[in-house]
């Protein structure tokens, strides 16, 4: 049985950083084993402590575990390409966010940014559990998510996250197996510049 690669043995940072940033990656090979409620609670707990504008905490997480009545509803929201491998996830999460401030009802221009921070907290926390993997997805039907999960008008579906136990990459369809790679990143010079925009 093939095992997933260890990102820490592949990713080389150019400058010193905490290993947790390198350890998080997005495999598709998942085993179909369940995720315990304790682990799930730790993931949401980490998300809970993310910063947000005015401490708005406008993120909301809806989820389905694979053995629950909700599973099919969440699974059917995904685009087919994601369904192919998500069938072996333990939990599917739909992340949404409130588009307006709770204190005055005005539009919140950073609701997605805030929510992205919470999502990253969740995914980084997952790396602390042996064999637990996460994979964020933008490939889902937003209209269907809104209807099937009864999102209020004021809430925007942001992304879905598959949480699972690491699986055997050989079980993936050929095309996805080839993409089961630990990725690298642009250099700092390509993403950060002192002064005005100069890329």
Largest CA distance in the chain: 56
CA distances from 193 to 14, 80, 188, 190 (A): 16, 39, 8, 8
Q: Which of 137, 145, 163, 172 binds ligand FMN (CB under 6 A)?
A: 137
136 vs 148 by CB, closer to ligand FMN = 136
Task: Among 37, 183, 188, 193, indicate the residue that binds ligand FMN (CB under 6 A).
Answer: 183
The CA–CA distances, whole Å, from 70 to 54, 74, 133, 156 equal: 33, 7, 21, 20
Residue closest to ligand FMN, measured at CB: 139
3-class secondary-structure state, position 137: strand
Would you count residue 138 as binding ligand FMN (CB under 6 A)? Answer: yes
Q: Does 149 bind ligand FMN (CB under 6 A)?
A: no
Position 115 contacts ligand FMN (CB under 6 A): no
Q: Which is nearer to ligand FMN, 143 or 195 (CB)?
A: 143
Buried b (16+ CB within 10 A) or exposed e, 41-78: ebbbebbeebebeeebbbbbbbbbbbeeeebebbbebb
Interface mask toward ligand FMN for 21-60; x: CB under 6 A: ----xx----------------------------------
Segment lying near ligand FMN (by CB under 6 A), choices 49-57, 58-66, 102-110, 131-139: 131-139
Interface with ligand FMN includes 148 (CB under 6 A)? no
**Tokens for 22?**
């390198």
Residue 19 binds ligand FMN (CB under 6 A): no
For ligand FMN, the closer CB: 40 or 119:
119
Does 102 bind ligand FMN (CB under 6 A)? Our answer is: no
C-alpha 62/C-alpha 158 separation (Å) is 12
d(CA 53, CA 129): 29
Which residue, chain included where needed, has tokens 């989820």? 63
Site residues (vs ligand FMN, CB under 6 A): 25-26, 82, 135-139, 159, 183
């Amino acid at each position: 049985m093939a095992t997933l690669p260890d990102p820490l043995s592949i990713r080389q940072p150019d400058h010193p950083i905490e290993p947790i940033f390198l350890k998080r990656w997005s495999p598709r090979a998942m085993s179909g084993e369940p995720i315990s409620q304790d682990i799930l609670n730790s993931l949401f707990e980490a998300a809970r402590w993310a910063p947000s504008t005015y401490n708005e905490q406008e993120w909301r997480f809806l989820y389905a575990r694979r053995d629950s009545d909700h599973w099919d509803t969440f699974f059917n929201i995904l685009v087919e390409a994601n369904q192919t491998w998500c069938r072996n996830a333990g939990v599917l999460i739909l992340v949404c966010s409130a588009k307006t401030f709770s204190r005055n009802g005005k539009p919140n221009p950073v609701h997605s940014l805030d929510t992205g921070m919470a999502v990253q907290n969740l995914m980084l926390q997952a790396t602390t559990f042996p064999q637990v993997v996460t994979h964020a997805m933008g490939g889902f039907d937003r209209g269907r998510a809104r209807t099937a999960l009864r999102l209020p008008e004021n809430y925007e579906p942001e992304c879905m996250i598959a949480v699972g136990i690491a699986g055997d990459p050989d079980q993936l369809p050929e095309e996805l197996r080839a993409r089961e790679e630990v990725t690298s990143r642009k250099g700092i010079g390509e993403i950060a510049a002192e002064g005005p925009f100069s890329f």
